[in-house]
Every structure is written in structure tokens, then in C-alpha cells.
């Protein structure tokens, strides 16, 4: 079974119609096997999984999750404080790739990356990497 944050296959057609296909496809998929030894010895360079956005898979290391969680959270807070129009778009750069997304998609992206960071850390602390 795929270790997914948002489980996009379970999104209802109502949510898909309301928020759009890009919003529905934003997901983070964890690697099948993350070595506890590798995470303990060199956690920053441990491949955690891949971020799926706009039909592109971007491999994310633990250090990437930390950096992008902070950056996306900051950008999301700035966008929501501006109260932009529903259809207004914003450029977001992730590992050299630029995505043009709306505010609700940015919010979901920021939450997905933050969830992936938190889950990867908690899984290590609980000894779930086998």
C-alpha cells in the first residue's frame, strides 16, 4: 500500500469540482523503506519520499522538507493575509521548478509538506523505520 499523506484517490467528485484537479493531486508519498540507520547517521541527506504536484514527482530529502516547510508556510501566511481573489495565482518555486498555483492550492501544499516533515520525524522517534 502506498504511504501517502493526502490519498488523492479518495477525494470525492464534489471536492474535485470545487477545488480543481491540481488541488486534488497535491500529495507526498513516502519511500517504501527508509533505513533507520541512515536516518540516524545522516538524517539531512536521507531520501524521505517524493512530492507530487502538477503531475510532477519531486524527490525530497529530509533537509528539503525542513527548508520547504518553513518557506511554504511563510508564503502561505503572506498570501492569506493579503486576501487575494479566488482565482489569483502565485508563482511557487520548488527545487528549481516553478508552479503557478492559487491560494487554496498553496495552503494544501504547505500543509502537505509540513505533515510529511512531522510524520518522518515522529516515525523515527517511535522506531517505525524498519
pLDDT tens by residue, 31-90: 877 766 777 788 788 889 999 999 899 999 999 999 999 999 999 999 989 888 888 999
Place of cell 504547505: 110
CA gyration radius, the chain: 15
Please tell me the predicted confidence (pLDDT) of residue 1. Answer: 47
Q: How confident is the model at residue 130 (pLDDT cuts 50, 70, 90)?
A: very low
Give the residue from 72, 97, 93, 75 showing the smallest Cα distance to 84: 75
Beta 56-61 vs 89-94: how paired, if at all?
Answer: unpaired
CA angle 121, 123, 126 (to 5 degrees): 110
pTM metric for this prediction: 0.87
Amino acid at each position: 500500500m502506498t504511504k501517502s499523506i493526502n490519498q488523492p484517490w479518495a477525494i470525492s467528485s464534489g471536492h474535485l469540482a470545487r477545488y480543481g484537479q491540481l488541488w486534488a493531486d497535491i500529495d507526498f508519498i513516502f519511500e517504501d523503506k527508509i533505513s533507520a540507520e541512515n536516518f540516524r547517521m545522516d538524517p539531512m541527506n536521507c531520501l524521505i519520499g517524493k512530492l507530487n504536484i502538477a503531475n510532477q514527482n519531486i524527490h525530497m530529502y529530509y533537509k528539503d522538507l525542513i527548508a520547504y516547510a518553513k518557506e511554504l508556510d511563510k508564503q502561505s501566511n503572506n498570501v492569506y493575509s493579503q486576501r487575494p481573489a479566488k482565482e489569483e495565482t502565485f508563482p511557487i518555486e520548488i527545487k528549481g521548478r516553478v508552479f503557478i498555483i492559487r491560494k487554496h492550492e498553496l495552503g494544501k501544499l504547505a500543509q502537505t509538506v509540513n505533515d510529511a516533515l512531522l510524520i518522518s520525524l515522529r516515525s523515527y522517534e517511535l522506531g517505525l523505520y524498519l
